[in-house]
Amino acid sequence: MQKLVDWAKQHGSNYLLVAGIGTFLAILAPYNTGGLGWPWVWIYWVSLMLLGGASGNAAVWALERFAPGMPKLAAYTLVAVLVSLPVTIAVISIQAVLGPAPPLYTWPIMFGLVFVISAAVTAINYMLEGRSENAAEASAGRALTDKLPVRLRTADILALQSEDHYLRVHTARGDALILMRLSDAIAAVEGLDGAQTHRSWWVARAAIDNAAKSGGRAELTLTGGITAPVSRSFYPEIRDRGWI
């Protein structure tokens, strides 16, 4: 039961979206589907859209498993193609049941018509995902920045430095000392490109100007001349990131 609830939370909004698009298409009744009449035209389009949504989820899962490094735009294009295949088969099957089966030479044309809709829906998902990611980045650090002086709240965060029970936040406009644990601050900036370098330090990647290393220890020189240590325990991760 819990798995079903988790699945609904993860995919429910997507299926509501495609069902809504199916309803919109039923109202427009493109490709001469208006002759089906209501509610059959609605059942036709919503069913096809839900099939496309399920096929899209399966295609995304397959790409994440077998081609995880594929650029996002290329992945969405391929998903549109993969979604179009089962939906086209469904359209051909429905037409064969309701009347004469469409001739073989019309199948590529039908695939093209289905692909137009699949591409439009995947484009909508592509844009929505991009906006969600941008919103997440824009709100990253809110729990932290709200504690800063007003003049520093919109400044780029360079580093976080733990000082006993306090936290010094280094920004591009200066620093401030606030009451906050380093672990909570790191959680607040998880959307930023950065990493913990020491039990008392977190550093933003964009703030690094130079790196000096000796054995398993290193120091990072940041914008404004700030020096952040890299302890032995965090050194392998920082090295693997290419910061040193």
pLDDT in tens, 156-204: 889 999 998 899 999 888 898 999 999 989 988 888 888 999 999 999 9
Apex 112 CA angle, 107 and 115, nearest 5: 125
Same-domain pairing of 126 and 151: no
Helix 40-66, helix 2-28: angle, nearest 10: 130
Same-domain pairing of 94 and 155: no
| Percent residues over pLDDT 90 in the chain | 11
pLDDT, tens digit, for every residue of 57-114?
888 888 777 776 677 778 888 888 888 899 899 888 888 887 788 888 888 888 988 8
Q: What is the pLDDT of residue 136?
A: 44
Same-domain pairing of 151 and 77: no
Q: Is 149 left (phi over 0), alpha (psi -120 to 50) or beta?
A: beta
Same-domain pairing of 18 and 109: yes
7 vs 241: which has the higher pLDDT: 241
212, pLDDT greater than 80: yes
Q: Cα 188 vs. chain centroid, distance in angstroms?
A: 18
Does the predicted model carry a pTM greater than 0.85? no
Same-domain pairing of 149 and 223: yes
Rounded to 10 degrees, the C-alpha dihedral 43/44/45/48 comes to 110
215, pLDDT greater than 70: no
Domain closes at, from 112, 139, 166: 139
The 8-class DSSP code of residue 31 comes to T
What is the extent of the structural domain holding 128? Answer: 2-139
| Percent residues over pLDDT 70 in the chain | 86
Same-domain pairing of 125 and 184: no
Domain closes at, from 122, 139, 156: 139
Number of structural domains, the chain?
Answer: 2
Q: What is the pLDDT of residue 139?
A: 42
Tokens of 86: 């089962």
Domain closes at, from 91, 123, 139: 139
Same-domain pairing of 64 and 152: no
Bridge partners of 213, per DSSP, are 218
Same-domain pairing of 112 and 181: no
